[in-house]
Each structure stands twice: as structure tokens, then as C-alpha cells.
Structure 1
Amino acid sequence: MRSVALIGNPNTGKTSLFNTLTSSYEYVGNWAGVTVEKKVGDLKNGAGKLIDLPGIYSLHPLSRDEGVAAQYLLEESPEAVINIVDASQLERNLLLTLQLLEYGKPTVLGLNMMDVANARGIHVNPEVLQSRLGISVLPLIARTGKGSGQVLSIVEKPSSIPPVHFKLNYGEITELAISTIEKELQHTPHLPNHRWVALQLLEQNPVVLEFLKSRVDTVKLLAIYEACQSELQIKKLALTLPQWIRSIRMDYIRSLCKDALDTSGQKPHNLTERLDTVLTHRFLGLPLFIFFMYALFKTTFDWVGGPLSGLIDGLLSGPVSEGTASLLQYIGASSFTHALIIDGIIGGVGGVLVFVPQIFILFLIISFLEDSGYMARVCLLMDSTMERMGLNGKAFIPFIIGFGCNVPAIMAARSIEQPKDRMLTTLLMPLMSCSARLPVYALFAAVFFPTQQAAAILSMYVMGIIFALLLCKLFSRYLFKNEASIFIIELPPYRLPQIKTLSRSTWEKGKGFLRKAGTIILAGSVIIWLMSYAGPGGLDVEMDFSYLAKFGGIIAPLLEPLGFGTWQAGATLVPGFLAKEVVVSTMNIIYHTPDAAGLQSQVSQTFTPLSSISFMAFILLYIPCLATVGVIKKETASWKWTFFSMGYCLVLAYVVCLIIYQGGRLLGWA
């Protein structure tokens, strides 16, 4: 089947266009590094496959996600290429465009963000670009879908896109080296355009060098590179060969932009710059961010989310539970079936579904902050703090994504250039409070801190970040010595997110929670209920004599110094390894409560304010869930680092909770 590659700089709207052209939905954010692996979708018209590649500034990769794009072009060779550029940042974007034109495949240039460029007083002439580059140039506004139909009609028949005949002259010395390398490659099978491969080799592209190792005599090719480099030095050019090639391209780009761009009406101070004077202020920036986070949690748990959760709880404990009980009685279901469905399934899963409104509201506000462009500024604000701890501000992007789920957050670490920073971010990600922990926080905050729910829950998020930074300092000093870190991040323009984009983004983040409710949480609830229903003495035993009580009792003595040494608490933690949401559903089954109010009453009798803080901290810090462990193994390709991440989390959780509880008792807080 035909394949068309979608390539462009980070944050140029590629994924938005991909979603439009394929009627699918991939994560979209107003910051660089959202796409970290190639996405494949079927074009609406059935003409073939569309491949959305990670955003790259050039074909010379600096990070693992950028390497995906270069590897794809080498090994899979698409039939055509759609290159998306930001019309408001044309000069910077065209460097990749020239490299793609040299690749030689039929190419369409998508001139995206025309509305942003016009708003800034930048006017782009597509006809000039089309004439100079020799390819089709299509103005687009990918967020709204404007122009996407034209793109779809063109890629319907990739073979009808005119071939590319673009060629830059890199000077006599470089051109001689290119032609010599082309001769060496002429009998090598399964290679794309030989001139393009030669140029990539002269630029010392590591992906191309690795690809050629098993196919040609790279010693001879590198000798050609060295000879060309020496010739440049003889001519007293203070540039390396890759720098020389780049300078030729940049000269051409400046000439092209001079003809195609009209910046006479460009506005000196736009809205983005005015907002940044306040939101990225050296002293005001971080306090404003903390205020926004507090307002986020206040909205989620006090102003809006709390009342909505109450409605869901009333629905589940009233009409749903009572109606199901009446139906089971009508059909003559056994007492076992009745208890399984009412107490196990509805009680267990329902105890988690109560928190769905709060989780969706949290995701909605976070999606708004992401798509507005503000979250990229937070990374800039955090850079100085994170740099002192051994990371750079770019690692804060995966940390923020981790507030939703640790799994995609760890994958997002691929966009970090330095291996040390990437590994550190992966190892520290389990300390970010994902949405699965949220039901636990919400339950205990509602019981013990009813007037300060937002502050109590926010403190758990802040605690995770603080411990991540402290451990980052420790790990970078003793595990990753002498490895430098650099910070480069693009600040996108502020924009008002579209309702459609916000709703889809919120749904995509939240539906994972609902999917768990119908799979892992449902299965876990049934298993937990069966363990509570049966015991050594048979079926339908007292809860304290069940297998679940026996199981929890084994762990309870170890938890005693932490303030929650009951079998009930112990029985919730091990299933929490499968999914942290199972902790609340297990409690609902253990305490056999009809609604949220009943569960809160039972929790208030079992825990104290101090032990509740210790328990929430333990849920935050102890072993990450099974899915997170799996992705850590995949990304690190090491069982050593995987077990290390599990081990340090467990030790940290125990030590921190021991200090919280025993220290609190010494201070008379118990």
C-alpha cells in the first residue's frame, strides 16, 4: 500500500493535520516534543497510509525521537513527502525543507499557521516559494482544517505529484566529494537517493553512518570526508565540512525568504511577548505558576468536581445499585451472584467511577494550559532549578505529562537530547502523581481535610516533584558523573485553544481511566471480592477470617511503624501494583460501604490525620504500576535499571512515611 510521510519541525501542526487527514486522534500539544514515535493512519480517501514522524529541525538527529525520522527515510522510503512548515517561522523551518528536497521524493510543502503569520504582520507569497523550490506549496491552517482537503486530494495519487529536481551547488571541493561518494554507492542496493546519502554522510549524520556500516566500506567513505575537510582547511575556511554545507543552505534560505516574505508590517510587540514579560518573569513567574496550580485543584475538587462526584455517587449507590438488586431478585439470582455483582462489581468499580468528573476536569484544565502554550514557559521557569539538580528544564515536559499517566510521560522523554537526562527522567517519572493516584488523594483529603482539599492534594503533587529533584541531584552526582546537560526549548506563541481540540484531548486522556475501570479495575475488584468472600473456613466467611485478611495480615506488621499497620491497609497496597486505582476499589469492598459517604466514615475510624498523610505519601512513592514498570524496561532496555526504579521507590516510600508518622508523633500530631 502507498505510504506518505508527514515531516516538519516540532510544533508546526503536523499531528493536527494527521488527525484531520486520517480521522484519527493523536495527542496534540502547543509545545515541541509531543510526537516521539512514528504514528501510522489510513488516509480518509483510502489512498494509502499516512506516517506522522516526530518533529525534527534537521535530518541530523540530536535525540532518540529525531533518529526515528532519519531511520524511516533510510529504510522505508515513502512514495511521497508532505513537509509542514510554520509560515511565521519560515526561515528556520526551510533548513529541513531543503534536506527533504535533496532526498528526491515527490514533495508537497504545507505552509501552515498562515493565520499566526498574518496576525504578526508577516505575509508569505506561496507562488514565489513554489517557483523557486519547484514543488507544490499549499497554505494551511491545520488547527481548523482549512486547506487539508486540498492536501488530501493531492496525496490521493502520490505518483501524480511532480518529481523533485532541486539541487544546490556546494562548491567545487564539496561537489567533487559528493560525486566520488555517489560512485562508491552506485552498486549498493536498498539505498535512497545517492546524492542525499552522500550529503548526509559528509554532514556526519550518525544514523546514516550506522546504516552504511554493514553495506559499504565506510573506511573509504570517511577517508573521502577527511580529504574534503582538509581541502577546506587549506582554503582557510574557518568551518568544518558540516558547517560549510549548512552555511550554503542558509545563504539560499535567506535569499529565498527575501523574495517570498514581506515583513514590513511585522508588529514589534505582539501578545505573546507582552504576556511573557509577566508569566516568565524572573521573580513572578514561579509564584504565578503555583497560583495557577492551586486554582486548578480548587476547581477540580471544591468548586466543580466535588459536587459532580456527589451526583455520580448518588446515582451509583441509589438507582444503579437498587435497580440491579431488584433485577437480580426478580430473576432469582443466587446470593453469591447477588453479592458478587452488588458488592464486588458495583461496589468496587463504582468506588472508582465516583472520581471520574474530577479526573476529567483536571485533564480539561491541563489540556487548556498545554494547548495555550503556557506549559512550555513553565519548563523555562523550572530550568534554573532543575539545572542545579542535574537536569534541564526540558525534562519538566515529561513530568507534566506524568500528571496524566506515567507511561506516555516516560515515552516523551525520548525527545530529550542527552542520554543522561533521558535516563534520569525515565527513572524519576514514577514519582509524578498520575491520575490513578488521584482517587486515593481525593478520598483521604475529603475525610481529613474537608476545607483544604485542594491544598492537601496539591501538596502530594509538589512532594513528588521535590523528591524527584532531590533524587535527581543524588543520582546525577553518583550514577551519572561528568555528563553535561544542555537546554534548548522552543517557546510557541500563545493561542486560545479550540473547544473541539480541548474536548478531544480531554477525552483521549480520560478514556484511559475509563478503560481501566472496565478491565483492570473490574478484574481486580472481582478477585479482591472473591478473596474477601472465601477463607480457610469456606465461603461467605467473616471478612476478618477471609483469605484477603490473611494476605493483608502478612504485610501489616511491616506497615505498623508507618501508621497504617492494619490488614485492611496491607491488602490494598499489593493490588495497587497492577493499577493504583484498585486501592480505592479494594477499600470499598473491604469496608462493604454502600456509597462514598459510608467509605469516608469507615476511613475516618481506621486512620488519623497523620496516618492518612503517611498513607497518601506511600501511595505516591511506592512501586510504580505494572504498566509503568513495563515501559521503563522497554525504554531503558535494562532489567538492572528497571529493578532499580522499583527498589528505590519502595525504599523511599518506607523511609519518608516512617519520618512523617514517627516524626509527627514526636511532635504530638498523632
Structure 2
Amino acid sequence: MTLGDLHIGQDAIIRVVGGEGELRHHLLDMGLTPGTEVTLRKTAPMGDPIEVELRGYELTLRLADAQKIEIDSVHATDRAAPSEERHKVVAHPGVGELDKAASYHERKAGAPIAAGAPLTFALAGNQNCGKTTLFNQLTGSNQHVGNFPGVTVDRKDGVIRNHKEATVTDLPGIYSLSPYSNEEIVTRDFILSEHPSGIINIVDASNIERNLYLTMQLMELDTPMVLALNMMDEVRANGGTIMVNQLEEMLGIPVVPISAAKNEGIDELIEHAIHVARYRELPGRIDFCTAGSDPADPRGAVHRCIHSVAHLIEDHAAAAGLPLRFAATKLVEGDTLIEKALQLNPNETDILGHAIAEMETVTGLDREAALADMRFTFIEKLCSATVVKPGESLEHKRSVAIDQILTGKYTALPCFAGIMALVFWLTFGVVGSTLSDWMTLGIDWFTGVVDRALTAYQINPVVHSLVIDGIFAGVGSVLSFLPTIVILFFFLSILEDTGYMARVAFVMDKLLRRIGLSGRSFVPMLVGFGCSVPAIMATRTLSSERDRRMTILLTPFMSCSAKLPIYALFTAAFFPRVWRAPVMIFLYLFGILCGILYSLILKQTCFRGEPVPFVMELPNYRLPSPKSVGQLIWEKARDFIQRAFTIIFVATVVIWFLQTFDTRLNVAATPDSSLLALVGSLITPIFKPLGFGDWRISTALITGFTAKESVVSTLTVLLGGDTGALNMLFTPFTALVFLIFTLLYTPCVAAIAAVKRELGGGRAALGVVLMQCGIAWVVAFAVHCVGVLLGLA
């Protein structure tokens, strides 16, 4: 049988992990090794992917990949219920006490680093283990925290509080140091090339067995290191404990129990990290083999292979600047990047092949499976001696109950549709629009006060026009939509923090595969409804370059929050109040539909092939952190206000200047004789076939390249602050065509810069600009033609 043949509630033992390449290696790294017991917990509503439990956590993978894993000993689940026995907290040593431990006497240590000299730390850990939360506690920074894999998509630097000489870098979450995805490469390259003074390895204490796999590889890097056991509050609350003293002795590195979310143990963690880095205290052990003198001992075969390879490559590793043990194990695994860096000669390559073949013969496992089995065997021994597993956590019980509805066969898709409809309805139809109306009243009142004050002061009419008709009309018209944007980000933050986004990816994977993408692509695209820039950056969590590039091209079709002011302005001007929210929802759905059609074209042309495998851990649902939600809302509100008083402010002043003066820099007698009319008339013919051939409309669309909110500010300035005059430029139907064009055409400059950075060049970014503009024009033209045929235009 294969893993894909299991029924829900059945256990089995993995016999052979089939497949090849990076995916197989990743599955082994995640704990799917021969001899491991797995339980099928559930399947997605459409029957694919599936969720299995192993090593104390849940993992999703597709049926096609599960069918490559052979199993035996299939039976109804008999997993023992977790012990409900409660254990008291065990004390652990303070700073420097570990030097007294016998296991520490053999540690290598260099000359101490002088007090006050710069120290650098790498913060590394699995995805979703609380790394960004810990980074915020260490530095006092305010990075966004979410409850789905891939929140950190780039390295972030910060100074450790009360230690201005110490800098910590928050690296992307990874499961191993194998180059499976872009974030793993970022983390590995940083540690190997930047040579940090120390590593802070954060581990989810409630899922310690799977987390320690990365810890063992980090220890092989022979860098001062401290282990942070996060979420210890949850372990204690559910009746478990970890024998920290014994764990320190067996690993040979400091271990500090913490709760990053509650700021528990952070000061002690900082002290330990500074101590090991300053005194260059290296890990007490880097050898996790089971040494055996018997040549037939399978575990001893792995030991002998690694050590013989280490002797073979010792001079090459030194020349390449690679830690010897790390280079040896990676070479045995078949890591091509390390093999290339070592530059072995043909004779050495031949000897390497013989050593690996001998190991495979004795163990009965291939090179990758043998290394993974060696590591997990040590972890099992370690955990059995130091970890008292808790009873089932309240978080897990709650997650299972909620998932029966939110990922149920018949309820998952209706729930998702209902949740998103509720989000958009509250954002555009109830809360957001009401707050925006109040904001508009406040801005109008303040504008009136300033207008009367300037009139009473008898200020120069040109300056009066600049302040009221330019700055206040342009910037004020954009600021009035701030509440709507804040409300949208509030709901998106709730979805992230609870862990629902990961479930949506699980539910939507089979549907997205039909358009050539993985369910993992759904999270970046959903983030795109808030802002395209972080959405584009979030594609780094995709291990396939094909999927990553394709997702980047599709993300601009997800209407970002910067377009909300345009939608709100036009729906308020041309549609009854009861229809405003439905029209906005239609625009979002229309953008998604265009994205789907475009993805089908890409799938059959430039991006042939299969989407990235869906291998992902589903985190437990957690209640949203008020601090995290408030932090995200504040960040987005601040960014919006900064844009309003920088980019949009400048654009507003430029538009006012060009509209006010003619070619001789005299005040223009009429708007049509202004500099702006001259510039706008040059591009007007492009938009005339779409039904809006006025130069003012063309000008507004051009300014939208800087920031989409500039479309609103430009039109407001050009109409003298009277947005009610929009009916002079549009009919209700041409207004709808205009909205469709703004929905689809090129994102802002910041998004294009992100595309350039992620796709690696200006040519790719220019291609995205031309592609988006072309699609927007063609679709808007088609809609306009249909309207003409139906007599709507």
C-alpha cells in the first residue's frame, strides 16, 4: 500500500519514501523517514491534499506525492492518549554555569571578544515557531507577526535592547539547511558567508521533535549557539515539561525556556547569547552518529561514512571556508552546492562514491534517508530522556473542532465565500464607508476653516488656489478613505493571526492546480488585497521558481487597498448607496476572474509544467494578538499617511502647477490652455477608444503610476475640488469602464520595484508594466464595445 491509500483514522509505518530530487529530500527532512508511524487525519474538501500526523505534528501533502511513499502495518489508530499528569517546572543554570558541566569541558573556544566590540547574531528557526515575535522582543522592533508559514520573507536587522553593540538578524523560517526553497538559501548563505558571532535557534517547545532537526544542522556549523525553547507557557499549561538541564548536557549548548509572546525569559536568553558569543563557546557536540565497532551495525555505517568523508575533504573544507562536519554531512546527503564549493578531484569523488555505496549497502537506505534516519534517531533518544509530553493542548483541541467546519467537505468553500463576503461587506458597505463619510466631513470642515482664514488674510489668489484647490483638495480627498483601508487591513490581519490563511491554502490547492498554481500561492495573492509589495515578497516562500514567477505576475490582479479611494469616489458619484458595496465586490471578483484567465494562458505558454508540491504544516488556531493587529493597522495607516504627504502631496502640487499656468508661465485663462492640457492631450488618443477621451482623465491615469491614490487627488484638483463634477467627464457606464481599467493596469512604482527585485532585472519589471497596461486596455475596450452593442454607452 501507499500513504495515499490510507483511510482517515488509520495508522501505518513508512517502509520506503519514493520519488526523487528536492521534494523527496524535503519530505525526509520533515520526518517522513522509513520506520516512522503516520496517521491520516483528514483530506481536503475536494479529496486532495491530505493531512497526516507524525512526530507530534500535522503535515499536508498531495495524494500524488503520498502515493510515492510505501507503507505497511496498516491498522486503526492506536496512538496512546497523551498523559494528563502534571509536572513541576525544572530550574536551569544561569549564565556561565554551563562551563562547570562535564560535557562542556571539551568544547572549543577562541580568544574572548572584547567587551563593547560588535557582535552579530542570526535568529533561525522553523516556520511558525514565533521567530518574528522573539525578534520584536529582542530588539523592541515592530515587525508584523502572523500565524501562517512565510511571514518573514527577507532578513531583518535590529539592535538587541540594552546591548547597542549586538545586532540580530531575523532570517526566514526553514526546516533544514538543505537548499529546497529561496528562504532556506537566504538563511544558509547568511550563516555561511556572514559568519555571525552567534546563532539564536528558536524552537517550538510544543513540537520539539520536529524542530530539533534544524538545531542539529545548525550545531554542525560550529558557531556559538543558544537554544530558545519558545511556547513553554503552552507546554506547562497542558501538563508537560522539558528537563532543561539534561537537554543542555546532551546537546552541549545553553538552553533557555521562554515565551516570546509573553516576554518571559527574554532577558536571560539575551545574557546567554551575549555570553557564548563573546567567549566564543562552540557547541559541545557536533557528532550525532551512533558509533559502532561492528561492521554490520547499520547505525555504525553512517558514522563511519561521515567520518571517512570528513577526513577526505578536510583540506578542501578549510580552503572553502566551510565547517568540516557540516560539509561532510551535506556531501553524504548529495548537496550539489557544497560539492561544487569543495572542488574535489576525480579520485576523491570516486572514493566518496565508494564510502556512500558502502553505507547504503549496510543500512539498506539511500544516502538521504540514512542521514535523516540518523538525525531523527538521535532526536528520539534525546526527547525520550528530556521531554515529558503534555496532554493534548487546548489550542489543538480547539483547532480540530473548528476545522470540522472550516475545512469540512461540504462546509469549507461556503465558509470561505461567506467570510470573504462578510469582510468586504463590512469594509465597503457598513463600517468602512460610514467612517470614511465622517472623515470626509471632518476634512471638509477643516478645509473650510483654512479657506476662510486665508480669505480673511487676503493672501495672494495664486497661493490661495495652491493651498485650497491643490493641496487640500488633492491630499484631503485621499485621506478621507483612510478608514476604509484601515478596516480592510484589520480583517486581513485577523485572518493571518488566527491561522485561517494556511487552511485556505489547504482547501484551495486542488482548485489552484487547475490554473497551474499550488495552494501555497493563495496566501501571497490574498495578501495582495492589502498591498502588492509584501504580497510579491511573500512569493519567496514558494520553492519552485516557476510558481514564484507565475504568482508574481498574477498578484497585481488582486486589487490592492490603494485602489480603494478610486472605487469609493466613483461608486459614490455614479451609483446609489445600496449598490456601492456590490459594485466594489464585483470589481474584486472581476480582477480575480481576469487573473484566472491570464494564468490559464501562462500555464499553456510560458509556464508549462507542474505546480510546486503542497508540503506545509498547519498551525493551530490562535486568538489574534491585539498588539499584533494594532501594530499592523498602525503601520499601514502610517504608510498611507506618509504617502499622502509625500508622493501624493508632490504629485498634487505638480498637477496644480501644470493646470494653473500656460506655456509662458502666465496664469492660464482656461484649463484647456494650461501646460497640463498640453501634456494630457498627447496621450488622450490612447484612451479615447475606451470612452474617456478627456485630457484630465488621461493625466489622472498617468499620475496613478506613482501611487494609485494619486488618481483621486489629480481628478479632485482638476475639477476644482468638486468631485460632483465627475459627471461632466463620465457617464455611469464609462465610469464602470474606467474602474475596470484602473483595476487592471500597472501597480504603483513601489510594486514595480518589488517585481524588479524579485524577478531580477528591469526588463522583467518593464514587461510586467507593459503586460498589465495591455491587458487593462484590451479588457476595458472589450467591455466598452459590449456596452455600445447593448446601448449602454
Interval containing the TM-score (normalised by the shorter chain): over 0.9
C-alpha separation between the residues in 1 aligned to 2:485 and 2:375? Answer: 49
Partner of 2:648: 521
Aligned equivalent of 1:12, options 111, 129, 152: 129
Q: Does 1:623 align with 2:746?
A: yes
Partner of 2:490: 364
C-alpha separation between the residues in 2 aligned to 1:585 and 1:349? Answer: 6
- Over residues 532-586 of structure 1, what are the superposed CA-to-partner deviations in whole Å (9 max), with x where a residue is unaligned? 1112473143223222223333333332332323222212111111111100000
5 Å-filtered alignment, 1:487-498, equals: 487-498=614-625
Q: Does 1:552 align with 2:680?
A: yes
Q: Does 1:38 align with 2:155?
A: yes
5 Å-filtered alignment, 1:130-529, equals: 130-157=248-275, 158-160=277-279, 162-166=281-285, 167-169=287-289, 171-172=300-301, 173-185=304-316, 187-188=318-319, 191-210=321-340, 212=341, 216-217=343-344, 222-235=349-362, 237-263=363-389, 265-266=391-392, 270-319=397-446, 321-329=447-455, 333-449=459-575, 450-529=577-656
C-alpha separation between the residues in 2 aligned to 1:155 and 1:330? Answer: 65
Query: Secondary structure, in 3 states, of the residue corresponding to 2:158?
Result: strand
- Over residues 476-504 of structure 1, what are the superposed CA-to-partner deviations in whole Å (9 max), with x where a residue is unaligned? 22112235531122211111112111111
TM-superposed deviation, 1:283: 3.1
C-alpha separation between the residues in 2 aligned to 1:186 and 1:494? Answer: 44
Change (3 A) 1:26 1:218: farther
C-alpha separation between the residues in 1 aligned to 2:157 and 2:126? Answer: 18
Query: Secondary structure, in 3 states, of the residue corresponding to 1:436?
Result: helix
- Over residues 170-193 of structure 1, what are the superposed CA-to-partner deviations in whole Å (9 max), with x where a residue is unaligned? 63431343332443336526x243
Query: Secondary structure, in 3 states, of the residue corresponding to 2:616?
Result: coil
C-alpha separation between the residues in 2 aligned to 1:220 and 1:93? Answer: 38
Aligned-residue RMSD, C-alpha: 2.2
Q: Counterpart of 1:399 in structure 2: which amino acid?
A: M
**Does the aligned pair in 2 maintain the 1:621–1:650 contact within 8 Å?**
yes
C-alpha separation between the residues in 2 aligned to 1:264 and 1:307? Answer: 48
Partner of 1:25: 142
- Over residues 25-81 of structure 1, what are the superposed CA-to-partner deviations in whole Å (9 max), with x where a residue is unaligned? 222111111111111111111241011111000000211121011101111111111
> Higher helix proportion, which one?
1
Q: Counterpart of 1:135 in structure 2: which amino acid?
A: I
Query: Secondary structure, in 3 states, of the residue corresponding to 2:308?
Result: helix
Partner of 2:245: 127
Structure 2's unaligned 5+ residue stretches are 1-117, 291-299
Aligned equivalent of 1:571, options 677, 683, 699: 699
Change (3 A) 1:329 1:224: farther
C-alpha separation between the residues in 2 aligned to 1:161 and 1:115? Answer: 30
User: So what's the TM-score if we normalise by structure 1?
Assistant: 0.93
**Does the aligned pair in 1 maintain the 2:539–2:548 contact within 8 Å?**
yes
TM-superposed deviation, 1:527: 0.7
**Does the aligned pair in 1 maintain the 2:144–2:632 contact within 8 Å?**
yes
Q: Counterpart of 1:667 in structure 2: which amino acid?
A: L
Aligned length in residues: 659
- Over residues 400-440 of structure 1, what are the superposed CA-to-partner deviations in whole Å (9 max), with x where a residue is unaligned? 22122212211111110011001101122221211211111
Query: Secondary structure, in 3 states, of the residue corresponding to 2:562?
Result: coil
C-alpha separation between the residues in 1 aligned to 2:345 and 2:141? Answer: 42
- Over residues 498-542 of structure 1, what are the superposed CA-to-partner deviations in whole Å (9 max), with x where a residue is unaligned? 211111122123322112111110111111111111124731432
Change (3 A) 1:71 1:388: same
**Does the aligned pair in 1 maintain the 2:238–2:390 contact within 8 Å?**
no
Change (3 A) 1:204 1:257: same
Change (3 A) 1:354 1:30: same
Q: Counterpart of 1:284 in structure 2: which amino acid?
A: T
C-alpha separation between the residues in 1 aligned to 2:344 and 2:465? Answer: 72
- Over residues 301-338 of structure 1, what are the superposed CA-to-partner deviations in whole Å (9 max), with x where a residue is unaligned? 2322222222221222222x233334445665322211
Change (3 A) 1:588 1:206: farther
C-alpha separation between the residues in 2 aligned to 1:220 and 1:604? Answer: 81
Q: Counterpart of 2:338 in structure 1: which amino acid?
A: V
C-alpha separation between the residues in 2 aligned to 1:292 and 1:301? Answer: 14
Q: Counterpart of 1:27 in structure 2: which amino acid?
A: H
C-alpha separation between the residues in 2 aligned to 1:335 and 1:221? Answer: 85
Partner of 1:652: 775
Aligned equivalent of 2:788, options 656, 665, 669: 665
Change (3 A) 1:663 1:543: same
Aligned equivalent of 1:52, options 153, 163, 170: 170
Change (3 A) 1:187 1:118: closer
Q: Does 1:2 align with 2:132?
A: no
**Does the aligned pair in 1 maintain the 2:492–2:527 contact within 8 Å?**
no
C-alpha separation between the residues in 2 aligned to 1:375 and 1:652? Answer: 29
C-alpha separation between the residues in 2 aligned to 1:540 and 1:199? Answer: 75
TM-superposed deviation, 1:146: 1.9
C-alpha separation between the residues in 2 aligned to 1:370 and 1:221? Answer: 50
Q: Counterpart of 2:716 in structure 1: which amino acid?
A: N
Query: Secondary structure, in 3 states, of the residue corresponding to 1:325?
Result: helix
Structure 1's unaligned 5+ residue stretches are none
TM-superposed deviation, 1:592: 0.9
| Larger mean Cα displacement after TM superposition, 472-481 or 257-266 | 257-266
Query: Secondary structure, in 3 states, of the residue corresponding to 1:577?
Result: coil
TM-superposed deviation, 1:220: 5.8
Aligned equivalent of 1:535, options 657, 662, 667: 662
C-alpha separation between the residues in 2 aligned to 1:122 and 1:669? Answer: 69
Partner of 2:219: 101
C-alpha separation between the residues in 1 aligned to 2:480 and 2:168? Answer: 39
C-alpha separation between the residues in 2 aligned to 1:224 and 1:414? Answer: 37
| Larger mean Cα displacement after TM superposition, 260-269 or 489-498 | 260-269
C-alpha separation between the residues in 2 aligned to 1:218 and 1:528? Answer: 66
C-alpha separation between the residues in 1 aligned to 2:283 and 2:669? Answer: 77
| Larger mean Cα displacement after TM superposition, 85-94 or 164-173 | 164-173
Partner of 2:89: none
**Does the aligned pair in 1 maintain the 2:497–2:624 contact within 8 Å?**
yes
Q: Counterpart of 1:628 in structure 2: which amino acid?
A: A
Partner of 2:716: 588
Percent identity between matched residues is 36
Aligned equivalent of 2:204, options 78, 81, 86: 86
TM-superposed deviation, 1:197: 2.2
| Larger mean Cα displacement after TM superposition, 505-514 or 22-31 | 505-514
| Larger mean Cα displacement after TM superposition, 435-444 or 306-315 | 306-315
TM-superposed deviation, 1:160: 4.7
- Over residues 60-109 of structure 1, what are the superposed CA-to-partner deviations in whole Å (9 max), with x where a residue is unaligned? 02111210111011111111111111122111111001111222222211
Q: Counterpart of 2:467 in structure 1: which amino acid?
A: I
TM-superposed deviation, 1:8: 0.2
Query: Secondary structure, in 3 states, of the residue corresponding to 1:553?
Result: helix
**Does the aligned pair in 2 maintain the 1:404–1:509 contact within 8 Å?**
no
